[in-house]
Amino acid sequence: MSNFKSKRMMKAVQWEGKPFQVSVNEVPIPKITNPLDAVVRLTSAAICGTDLHTYRGRIETKAGLIFGHESIGIVEEIGSDVTTVKEGDRVIVSAIIAQDIDNGGEEEIGGYGIGDYGIPLGLFNGGQAQFMRIPFANASLLVVPPGDEFELDYLLLADIWPTAWFCLDSAEQVLGDVVVVFGAGTTCPFIPVCLQFLLNIIRSGRSVMRLLCPSSWRHQSL
């Protein structure tokens, strides 16, 4: 464990309120504000294509928002009602904030570090920082084995892997289907999702025939 409780400030990547303007600033370390909160010390964070929309000013965003919704780290502190993780656990932070509901399911509450996409969910500071407050930690953190092995592999589970799998599932693909993936070129901001989508297709036994990039209409058969 770090000397978390003796620290007051941390470094974080913040949106400055204008297109193409972000900066690394000293900001207060987040604290527990609710019994269901946890504070995680981040060990790795990724940049998503969603971040680029905010960075380029395409999405309305409040100045000062901390970027990042793909994060992994160590639990430093938990609220009194958190039961699924403990201090010292290595955890993946879900990109979507959810809370447990009475019927055993989960209800989406918000997201981290992105702008207003027109979805009626809350916006919370993200994980491109040294520490991060996790609301509804019981439903929003996934414990993984301790240490640093497979760090970047586990990081995929925060957003990009389930996003790609959701695409595959929503398209109702079955074994043997021919799949065309748009946006797989090197200039496409969503190429990581496209490549993860492809990997999921291959591993699930589906067949991929063509990759297309709208920016140049290059294609490749697999």
pLDDT digits (tens, 9 = 90+) for 22-72: 999 999 999 999 999 999 999 999 988 788 888 888 887 888 999 999 999
CA dist 22 and 49 (Å) reads 15
Nearest residue to 215 (alpha-carbon basis) of 194, 199, 196: 194
Q: Give me the phi and psi of 121, to 5 degrees please.
A: -125, 160
Residue 126 is classified by DSSP as -
Task: Pick 4-157's CATH classification: 3.20.20.60, 3.40.1280.10, 3.40.50.720, 3.90.180.10.
Answer: 3.90.180.10
Element (H, E) at 163: helix 160-170
Extents of the domains making up the chain: 4-157, 162-221
**Beta strand pairing call for 9-15 and 22-28:** antiparallel
Nearest residue to 106 (alpha-carbon basis) of 68, 137, 74: 137
Residue 31 is classified by DSSP as -
126-185 pLDDT per residue, tens: 999 999 999 999 989 999 999 999 999 899 888 877 777 777 777 776 666 666 666 554
- Given a contact cutoff of 8 angstroms between Cβ atoms, the answer to whether 110 and 99 are in contact is no
pLDDT of 79 > 70? The answer is yes
- DSSP, collapsed to helix, strand or coil, labels residue 52 as helix
- Given a contact cutoff of 8 angstroms between Cβ atoms, the answer to whether 14 and 65 are in contact is yes
- Mean per-residue pLDDT for 105-123? 70
Distances from the Cα of 113 to the Cα of 56, 117, 148, 151, 182, angstroms: 14, 12, 24, 21, 26
pTM of the model: 0.77
CA dist 67 and 95 (Å) reads 12
Count of CB atoms within 10 A of residue 5's CB?
Answer: 10
